[in-house]
Amino acid sequence: MAQRKESNGTWTFYGRYPKSIDGANKSYKRRGFKTKKEAKLAEIKFIEEFKGLVPSHITINQLIEEYHKDAPNRLKESTLKGYSRIERNIISPTFGDRYIDQITALEIQRWINNIFNNGFNGVKYCDETIKGILLHLSGLLTYAVKHDLLIKNPCSSVNIPKNPNKKPNEKSSKDNYWEIDEFNEFLESVQDGLHYDIYEFCFYTGLRIGEFCALQWKHIDLEKGTVTVDQSLSAITSKITSPKTGNSYRTIVIPKKIIDKLKLKYSYVSQIRDFNENWFVYKDKTYISIGTLRRWFNEDVKNAGVKVITFHGLRHSHASYLLSNPILSEQLVADRLGHTVKTLRETYAHVYKKHRKILDDYITNL
């Protein structure tokens, strides 16, 4: 759908008719309207009349099938598995057999509002998941528009539901971290040597859990004291894949006390007959699974009797520890974590709030 002003001052609307998967597509154009608004209203009426005469030959389920023929060429397997769950459990049960040009924006708005308020098939979803459901349906219909199977995406005028009375929250990292003294208190209670070394490594490097699990000896430079992140273990597929984002590719410095431990560890494991650089640093030929690592951590936190955080909270703790040092720039901290500065500020707003309090106190006492 589009309108343009002609050289003679009149307005024209133009676009392409939707087509079936195997059918031909044609353009439409109508001229001679006095204003852009008149052209736009005429186009809406034209499309509605067309839809009434020529039913679409593709349903949501057929669209999903077409989408997944192309998606593996641009999306990770773990992403596609997440999309497939949304399609199978939520989108198809509602719209599966419906023609895509018969689904209206109002219908989608009422549908997503109902999921927000009441859940779907007895399952309640968090705000982020609901947002993901709507965005994926929109992505499917955008695919249809781009491939001339649909004229307009009805999701473009649908709002993501939210509670108008809910106060804005900082991200979950607000309480999901330890100060350095809290971490040391926890570490003193850990009895298992392997667990101890893992938690210490993750606290002082800030690696994501998938990045840690995928860490192999080829990623460790014992002479330079660095670790390179260029792969990650997927919790969904249990496969080694590329890191989360482009910014996630990075090489960072490791504290000397951890490098010294790794040198000792390497001197031992490198003597094993079939050892090679593809062995995993904190395991052997195979990696520690994400589920196992989370279970170890949760049990050790419970036994320590300290403030409960998730394993990902070690990454938040590392970030908070660095950001609390005013000498370190935001960009350097963001680079180390594999973030952008924007994401850093959004995720660690609690640290910035603490800094603002220090600044306020300083200004007050000038």
Where along the chain do its domains lie? 2-53, 60-157, 173-364
Q: Which residues contact 149 (CB under 8 A, 6 or more apart)?
A: 18, 19, 20, 21, 56, 58, 63, 66, 100
Closest Cα partner for 239 from 206, 198, 286? 286
Strand partners, 216: 280
CATH architecture designation of domain 60-157 = Orthogonal Bundle (1.10)
Q: Which two tokens stand for residue 283?
A: 């395991």
Q: Which residues contact 144 (CB under 8 A, 6 or more apart)?
A: 18, 58, 63, 100, 150, 153
pLDDT string in tens for the chain (366-residue length): 689 999 999 999 888 766 544 445 567 889 999 999 999 899 888 877 766 544 457 899 999 999 999 999 988 888 899 999 999 999 999 999 999 988 999 999 999 999 999 999 988 988 889 999 999 999 999 999 888 888 889 999 999 998 877 665 544 456 889 999 999 999 999 999 999 999 999 999 999 999 999 999 999 999 999 999 999 998 878 889 988 888 899 999 999 999 999 999 999 999 999 999 999 999 999 999 999 999 999 999 999 999 999 999 999 999 988 988 878 888 999 999 998 888 888 888 777 776 666 656 766 776
Q: Which residues contact 114 (CB under 8 A, 6 or more apart)?
A: 120
CATH architecture designation of domain 173-364 = Orthogonal Bundle (1.10)
| CA 258/CA 14 separation, integer angstroms | 65
CA angle 97, 56, 138 (to 5 degrees): 65
**Edge-first strand listing for the sheet containing 11-16:** 2-5, 11-16, 27-33
Cα 164 to the center of its chain, rounded Å: 25
Contact 154, 144 (CB under 8 A): no
Rg (CA), the chain: 27
Q: Which two tokens stand for residue 204?
A: 């002082």
